[in-house]
Amino acid sequence: MTIHEMKVGDSASMAKTISESDVYLFAGITGDHNPAHVNEHASSQTPFGGRIAHGMLSAGLISAVLAMKLPGPGTIYLGQELKFTKPVRFGDTVTATCTVTEIVAEKNIVKLETICTNQNGDVVIKGMATVMPPKA
């Protein structure tokens, strides 16, 4: 979708259930083997009381929405501000929603509110993305 096809308020979402396998694959790809994510015994001693998914794994769903839905293929990700507000546990279904909040047509820049929620509607991540949509 080009900048001229978008308007403030446009929104798109994508959902994924986060599995134990997803967490271990993410740990292997990134090298982030924090016990909070991969060690049940050690993570049971944390304030979360068990393993949680990497925050950036859930944040990756935001990237998927931007790349595949809004604005879509050809989008260039310029920046992302994130706040992790609640843990994501194995088996949680995370929905990433991106909503256009600002369009700077002369610079071909779009800003979007980025929110991830779990299956209970709890916000687990909130932030803002800056992207360059594809040109016509």
Q: Is the pLDDT of residue 136 over 90?
A: no
116 contacts 98 by C-beta, under 8 angstroms? no
User: What's the CATH number where 54 sits?
Assistant: 3.10.129.10
- pLDDT digit string, tens, across residues 66-110: 999 999 999 999 999 999 999 999 999 999 999 999 999 999 999
Buried b (16+ CB within 10 A) or exposed e, 15-43: ebebeeebbeebbeeeebeeebbbeeeeb
Residue numbers of the domain that contains 124: 3-132
pTM of the predicted protein model: 0.93
**Number of domains comprising the chain:** 1
- pLDDT digit string, tens, across residues 48-59: 999 999 999 999
- pLDDT digit string, tens, across residues 4-30: 999 999 999 999 999 999 999 999 999
